[in-house]
Structure 1
Amino acid sequence: MSTMSTGAEIEQASEKIKLASEPFRRIVSQVNRVLVGQEQLVHRMLIGLLTGGHLLIEGVPGLAKTTAVASLAKAIDTGFQRIQFTPDLLPADLIGTQVYRPQEQTFVVQKGPIFSNLILADEINRAPAKVQSALLEAMQERQVTIGSETFELDNPFLVMATQNPVEQEGTYPLPEAQTDRFMLKVIVDYPNRDEELQILRRMSKTASNVEIESVTNPAEILAARELIDQIHVDEKVEGYIVDLIMATRSPESYGLNLSPMIQFGGSPRATINLALAAKANAFLAGRAYVTPSDVRELAMDILRHRVAVTYEAEAEELTSESIVSQILNHVPMP
């Protein structure tokens, strides 16, 4: 669909978008029946759902990362599979395998748990690289090859992977090719005092009786995705997106002395993902156009896992987050 340019077209699309974004507000209210706080995580999960972009969710154990993804799946009338990643997991446990049937003397494909809509890859960094790599084709190509056969995956298909911080024992850092497949990397932090008090009152019971209702379905999600393609992005906003990504690759061109600190910057996939995420953000706000604030709000989650720091940066205790922050503060918003 062509990008809209006239005010009348944007106004017309705004009405459609306000209507189409309603189910997503219902999802939030359902998830909040179980989850306390974590508004940012829920918002980012909706952006992933709207754009088909996968999420990497990082935080220490016990912060309801798994509960958040499971609650989202219940609020949507769709398939859900939780896969617990462990050091002894094999690729076949994920995608499936060929099983020999002696009576028929043939091999039959037995599909794995990856054949669903929402996939929760729990503690993804506990499994070795060969298992993590088995996800690559599924995440990027939306298909799986078992033996000589290739199978299309269902639509919508979304991987939400949780991981504990890499410093903990018994974990395998995700390869760069794997992390780049994730649209967003969301850091989940501890709740504040008021939220903690709310968690205590709501959850300190021997049995939970909160039921989440399905408030939307895959057809509504796919219809919303079509509307996202119609959201208007002004040339200045496009320029801002490109400038942010380019500043991670050649910071000196933007007057930033960060080149010795950056091993490599964001790929073109980062540019595409930032534009898509900004459109989804506008959609959730009921708008038919993207503002620079949409871009800035999501830039950290798009870039923090795509900007690799050098040993020099590590020696100076500079993280990818602090480098992205400097870029965001330096590149002017239109």
Structure 2
Amino acid sequence: MSISDSYPPAFRRVINDGDPPATPEIEPVLVGDKDIPIPVIDLERLDKEILTEACKEWGIFRLENHGVPLALTSKLQEISESLLSLPFENKRELFTAVKSPLSYFWGTPALNRLGDALKRGTQASNVNMVEGFNVPLSSLSKLPASTSCDDDDDDAQHSRLESFRVLMEEYGRHITRIAVTLFHAIAQTLNLELSGDRRSEYLSESTGLIRVYRYPSSSSGETAGEALGMEVHTDSSVISVLKEDETGGLEIMKGEEWFRVEPVANTLIVSLGDMMQVISDDAYKSVKHRVKKKDIKRDRYSVCYFVFPQRDCVIKSSKYKPFTYSEFEAQVQADIQSIGTKIGLPRFTP
């Protein structure tokens, strides 16, 4: 099988033609093409002053000594690459034939609650060069057990899916622990006096989901390599935790300029989402970021965990009208489907 057979057909056209897809907005230039060292937080020795500055001035930081075993992340990377390298049609069938709570998406990072890609209104023809799996952690136990198949290839695929489930459950436990620890620490830096119930409403572990992303390589020269893997956006989450490979490509906006965040082995990248910005009364910002392919000779893989408030939790802030996360989510999806892009928090200003 040619590696291009594992890509969605729209990706193959871009790769073969070298014609990057259109983007929905004119973006600031990556000034100077420079790397930028983001703040570093040691989870074993949490320094509240460094954490406060990172949240206030950056909205993103690198996490070290996080306690996630290297052997686990290596195995998860290996099985993710194996599943995503399956032929395109096989990937679609694998996540539908078994009525899996997991879903396969491509061409856009904008998904509905079921993990299906949203059609993007006036920008529906645009293609982000990204594909992946959406994994709601609370539903992993509902994934049907692997059964023996007449076809050896099908049997092997379902066996890999079962291995993926087991690894994802273990990784999910680690990454949820990290998110809860960081949220409690960030709440302290804001002097938020939250009851146990209120904390669990603002950061609901049951909403946690993981997305495994693959950004395809290109053999057609620099033009195709400049195609966006993921367009400019802020996350709708409270906290997002990213584990990426060594390929690179993540860029963040600092001031009015774009800077590249280089990968560092055995660290995680934590970014604040829109819900944290509201909870903090705009003291902390949801960071704008995107993915551009720097190394076009190989695929880029990343695993990102997102966690949200409870869907019926009313979030109040002096900067925004009160809303529930369900209302925010519905508005974001309506905007994407009607005008092709997320508006986000400005929709909820008084």
**How does the TM-score come out when normalised to structure 2?**
0.28
**How does the TM-score come out when normalised to structure 1?**
0.29
Q: Which has the higher strand share?
A: 2
